[in-house]
Amino acid sequence: MIIDTHCHLASRQFDQSRREIYVRHAAEAGIDRMITLGACMDDWEENLSWARQFPGTVFCALGIHPDDAHGAPENWAEKLTAAAETVPLAAIGETGLDYFHPAPEGWETADFHRHQQELLEEHFELAARLGLNIVLHTRDRKGSRSFEDALAIAGNHAGRVRPVFHCFIGDTAQAARIFDRLDGMVSFTGVATFKNAPVVAETARWCPEDRIMLETDSPYLSPEPLRGRMNEPAHLIHTARFIAAARGMELEEFARLTTRNAGTFYNLRQQ
């Protein structure tokens, strides 16, 4: 069985009246657990309700996506801490740095990036207080500045909070820095199956056995052969098969090691 470590089940693209169907589809495909990420305060409660409805199957992580950093109230960490008292969280996140999208109206680009960095520091501090690891998003229009900045911020908290760089699209050198400097993890989506992403496939093939996890990032990024369709946790099996084959492993063996990694990183064995 496989864990989908990153999906967005509260997304409007998921029909909330079909929750049982999505969970059943996943189970039939061999995806027995999933972690839904609340990336803005408006959808935290919806994500928590999934975890309440499917205990032991759906877990939850909460944070504020960098694109929404400008809307974060001063007491956001208080509110998240209160939410964590109602449902045990698997991690803090999704949070991070996004330099791809333009700054919101009224913000200079440099100021907004600085604000994202400050909010990310606050997420790390909260994760340390709650004893949780953290899920990071980085994205650039060109280059890798968001990755470099996130790596530096994570380095400030090395030894206290472990990060996973989700939807990882970097090369092996970048991945090695995450492992060596931060004791971190990387997680791969359907992008690894895309014909125009050979670097991602190579990194997934190379990645040490104890550093790799899998995710859909659904409803986005459906893997081949479903690219272009709405994604859901059940589709993770295609990514798992692709990467297992690239690594020269049997699917069952690869599923065991990624499930073990996810269970340890997200402390799922204790929930």
The one-digit pLDDT tens for each residue of the chain (271 residues) are 999 999 999 999 999 999 999 999 999 999 999 999 999 999 999 999 999 999 999 999 999 999 999 999 999 999 999 999 999 999 999 999 999 999 999 999 999 999 999 999 999 999 999 999 999 999 999 999 999 999 999 999 999 999 999 999 999 999 999 999 999 999 999 999 999 999 999 999 999 999 999 999 999 999 999 999 999 999 999 999 999 999 999 999 999 999 999 999 999 964 4
CATH architecture, range 2-270: Alpha-Beta Barrel (3.20)
**For residue 99, which phi and psi values (nearest 5 degrees)?**
-105, 10
- Radius of gyration of the chain from Cα atoms? 17
pLDDT of residue 269: 66
Quote the pTM value. Answer: 0.97
Which pLDDT value is given to residue 243?
A: 99
Q: How far is 159 from 184, CA to CA, in rounded Å?
A: 10
